[in-house]
């Protein structure tokens, strides 16, 4: 095996070891991207993993295909050289004007990319800044960018994923895992979070430890869509998702269970601790003022809490049903509140309430 091929193999092994491929976005990387966007006054900051069209971004401008193609090419260059790239005006950069990017015309005028390394030193990808106007990037800015990239690497080293997600990552290939991620919100979809929940259920039976789930529904979401439009509705969904991600602990998982309905899976958590977390989520969402194309939007959530206890060996389906009934009962009691389902209680059916 040639030295180059060996190095690339080791790099891909290190990349696979992060368990980042075709899994939901990570809030720590979202934070780094948001800070990068604000700190350097650019519309887009994105973490790109080499060889994977996957980004973690908090920005005001979405990536289009032609932008992704350009960033992929530049990211590959960073991986191969292990050096940062600064392009203050893409119209004067030969590789973009006449090279590999020429077949994918892009709006990108400014680009800065800094290598992101694994603990082994292998370059996994790059943290990238993008602007659609040319801009200067003096040495002091490059130093700040280096420090942000370093903090992103620390987040990568410290990152933990739950036992259930580890099992899912090990069992499924990238294509299958990607099909379990919601394309709009970049969290687990219903199939993904159900798979996580079933795995946790099996683990909890073996270990005889409790766990809890939260069923979370945005109140009067249909009214938001009807009055402000579906684009505003999508913005609200993304904002609530960020609150959920920020509220979860390292081992917790969150997924989109329905249109405006979410499930949070809380390993090794009893009802009392689940209720405390649910109240934090409820308060954080109520404090949101979400900027949309239709103006500022406020919203609340109703949350049902259900605890699984080893002595009952309750099925996943029964647990989800209890949490769902508790959530619907919270809506019936006035919305914007948390209601816990005691084991054996709240088993009646309830109709859907917006």
> For the chain, what is the mean pLDDT?
83
Q: Is 11 a domain residue? A: yes
- CATH of residue 247's domain is 3.30.70.270
Strands 211-218 and 253-256: unpaired
Asked if residues 124 and 116 have their Cβ atoms less than 8 Å apart, the reply is yes
pTM (predicted TM-score)? 0.70
67, 153, 260, 314: the active-site residue:
260
Per-residue pLDDT tens over the stretch 171-184? 666 667 778 889 99
Instruction: Say whether both 54 and 188 belong to one domain.
Output: no
Q: What is the mean pLDDT of residues 155-169?
A: 66
Higher pLDDT, 7 or 102: 7
- What Cα–Cα distance (Å) separates residue 143 from each residue in 37, 113, 114, 147? 16, 12, 11, 6
Per-residue pLDDT tens over the stretch 285-333? 999 999 988 889 999 999 999 999 998 889 999 999 999 999 999 999 9
Q: Is 347 a domain residue? A: no
Q: Is 149 a domain residue? A: yes
Q: Is 350 a domain residue? A: no
Which residue is associated with the tokens 């609200």? 236
Say whether 147 is catalytic.
no
Name the residue among 209, 186, 196, 189 with its Cα closest to residue 253. 196
Instruction: Say whether both 172 and 121 belong to one domain.
Output: no
Structure confidence at residue 52 (pLDDT): 47
Higher pLDDT, 64 or 265: 265
Structure confidence at residue 95 (pLDDT): 58
What are the two backbone dihedrals, phi and then psi, of residue 312, each rounded to the nearest 5 degrees?
-95, -25
Give the chain's domain count: 2
Asked if residues 147 and 39 have their Cβ atoms less than 8 Å apart, the reply is no
Instruction: Say whether both 25 and 118 belong to one domain.
Output: yes
Q: Is 352 a domain residue? A: no
Instruction: Say whether both 154 and 186 belong to one domain.
Output: no
Q: What is the mean pLDDT of residues 117-137?
A: 87
Give the range of the structural domain holding residue 248, as residue numbers without chain letter.
163-341
Instruction: Say whether both 127 and 193 belong to one domain.
Output: no
Instruction: Say whether both 128 and 177 belong to one domain.
Output: no
Among 133, 158, 183, where does a domain finish? 158
Q: What percent of the chain has pLDDT over 90?
A: 51
Residue 339 to residue 181: CA distance in whole angstroms:
28
Within 10 angstroms of residue 248's Cβ, the number of other Cβ atoms is 19
Within 10 angstroms of residue 164's Cβ, the number of other Cβ atoms is 24
Per-residue pLDDT tens over the stretch 245-300? 889 887 899 999 999 999 999 999 999 999 999 999 999 999 999 998 888 999 99
Asked if residues 181 and 23 have their Cβ atoms less than 8 Å apart, the reply is yes
Instruction: Say whether both 225 and 273 belong to one domain.
Output: yes
Name the residue among 240, 32, 271, 198 with its Cα closest to residue 129. 32
Instruction: Say whether both 203 and 248 belong to one domain.
Output: yes
Q: Helix H segments across the chain?
A: 3-17, 27-39, 65-81, 94-97, 139-158, 163-171, 174-178, 190-207, 221-228, 230-247, 271-286, 316-332
Instruction: Say whether both 68 and 179 belong to one domain.
Output: no
Structure confidence at residue 75 (pLDDT): 84
Name the residue among 342, 180, 195, 187 with its Cα closest to residue 271. 342
Residue 249 to residue 263: CA distance in whole angstroms:
14
The encoded tokens of residue 203 equal 């683990």
Among 129, 158, 187, where does a domain finish? 158
- DSSP classification of residue 83: S
Instruction: Say whether both 226 and 318 belong to one domain.
Output: yes
Instruction: Say whether both 72 and 214 belong to one domain.
Output: no
Among 135, 158, 181, where does a domain finish? 158
Q: Is 94 a domain residue? A: yes
Q: Is 13 a domain residue? A: yes
Q: Is 351 a domain residue? A: no
Structure confidence at residue 112 (pLDDT): 95
Q: What percent of the chain has pLDDT over 70?
A: 77
Higher pLDDT, 65 or 223: 223
- CATH of residue 144's domain is 3.30.450.40
- DSSP classification of residue 340: E
Instruction: Say whether both 154 and 167 belong to one domain.
Output: no
């Amino acid at each position: 095996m040639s030295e180059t091929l060996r190095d690339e193999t080791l790099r891909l092994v290190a990349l696979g070891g992060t368990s980042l491929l075709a899994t939901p976005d990570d809030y720590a990387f979202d934070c780094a991207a948001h800070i990068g966007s604000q700190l350097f006054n650019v519309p887009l900051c994105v973490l790109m993993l080499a060889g994977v069209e996957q980004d973690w971004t908090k920005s005001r401008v979405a990536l289009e295909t032609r932008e992704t193609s350009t960033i992929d090419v530049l990211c590959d260059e960073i991986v191969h050289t292990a050096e940062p790239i600064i392009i203050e005006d893409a119209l004067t950069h030969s590789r973009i004007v006449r090279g590999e990017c020429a077949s994918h015309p892009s709006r990108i005028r400014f680009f800065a990319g800094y290598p992101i390394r694994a603990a082994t030193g292998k370059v996994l990808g790059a943290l990238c800044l993008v602007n659609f106007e040319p801009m200067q990037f003096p040495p002091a800015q490059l130093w700040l960018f280096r420090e942000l990239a370093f903090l992103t690497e620390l987040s990568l080293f410290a990152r933990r994923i739950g036992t259930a997600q580890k099992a899912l990552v090990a069992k499924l290939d990238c294509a299958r895992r990607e099909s379990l991620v919601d394309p709009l919100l970049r969290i687990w979809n219903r199939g993904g979070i159900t798979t996580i929940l079933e795995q946790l259920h099996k683990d909890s039976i073996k270990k005889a430890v409790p766990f809890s789930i939260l069923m979370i529904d945005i109140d009067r979401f249909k009214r938001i869509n009807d009055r402000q439009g579906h684009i505003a509705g999508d913005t609200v969904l993304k904002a609530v998702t960020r609150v959920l991600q920020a509220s979860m602990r390292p081992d917790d998982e969150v997924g989109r269970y329905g249109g405006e309905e979410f499930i949070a899976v809380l390993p090794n958590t009893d009802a009392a601790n689940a209720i405390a977390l649910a109240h934090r989520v409820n308060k954080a969402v109520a404090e949101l003022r979400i900027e949309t194309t239709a103006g500022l939007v406020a919203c609340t959530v109703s949350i049902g809490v259900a605890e699984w206890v080893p002595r009952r060996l309750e099925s996943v389906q029964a647990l989800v049903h209890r949490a769902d009934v508790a959530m619907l009962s919270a809506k019936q009691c006035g919305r914007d509140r948390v209601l816990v389902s005691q084991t054996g209680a709240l088993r009646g059916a309830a109709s859907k309430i917006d």
